[in-house]
Structure 1
Amino acid sequence: TIPSDNGSEFSELTQVHDHVFYADPYSPWERGSNEINNRFLRKEITKGEAINNYSSAQIIATNDWMNHYPRAMFNGHSSMDIYRKAFYQEISQLHQPIINWSVLFI
């Protein structure tokens, strides 16, 4: 889902993406998690400043910092912690043995 506030920069968004949520202008409570991420981002990148004033390394470092920041909504874990846990659970399920060898040697 892509959240939008109906700004002109999003006018053709539905032509590119199927899942677009349009929030009412000046209603940040309709996009809570998006607003929290914007607040984090604004600690590093000043509002209104052109993103091309930052190097790729600076953008990657900011993204890395945001992904590793402990969040109250995750009981002090970071988004990366939650992702890794889900990823490793998924991988471990994919690598379950197909044959139960213990049954063959009764």
Structure 2
Amino acid sequence: MLKIIKEQGPQNFKTITTDNGSEFRALSKLEDTCEHLGVYYAHAYASWEKGSNERHNGMLREFIPKGLSLRDLTYKRLKQCTDALNMKPRRTLGYVCPQELFEQKRQEIAQAS
């Protein structure tokens, strides 16, 4: 995660919300590295606390059906899936694609600096 933050620029991140999985236990250390960043953990079995994440998981199932192991997924295939999802307009974003909105916000932040 730190690599992504450094690549994209720390000014583009305010918070990170994740579940309580052991794979995320070290994320709180990011708060020491990136002082402006808040790291939040959703409660176990509280999918409503991470609605966007649950929605994206459902959309990912359009490409990777439930029951199919993610262990066999190549990076190339995962990138194809995530690129397709990031270029799909969302009602919650005013029918703008997440990738387009991300780039727009990034430019606004860069111009304000």
Q: TM-score if structure 2 supplies the norm length? A: 0.65
Corresponding residue for residue 57 of structure 2: 38
Structure 1 counterpart of 2:89, from 70, 87, 96: 70
Is the CA contact (8 Å cut-off) linking 1:3 and 1:23 kept in structure 2?
no
Q: Distance in 2 between matches of 1:54 and 1:80?
A: 23
Matched, 1:84 2:103: yes
Letter in 2 for 1:39: G
SS of residue paired to 1:17: helix
Q: Count matched residues.
A: 88
Matched, 1:17 2:27: yes
Q: Give me the identity figure in percent.
A: 22
* CA gap 1:33/1:48 in 2 versus in 1, 3 angstroms: same
CA RMSD of aligned residues (A): 2.1
Q: Distance in 1 between matches of 2:43 and 2:81?
A: 26
Greater Rg, structure 1 or structure 2?
A: 1
Is the CA contact (8 Å cut-off) linking 1:13 and 1:20 kept in structure 2?
no
Greater relative contact order (CA < 8 Å, ≥ 6 in sequence): 2
Unaligned runs of 5+ in 1: 95-106
Q: Alpha-carbon deviation of 1:47?
A: 2.6
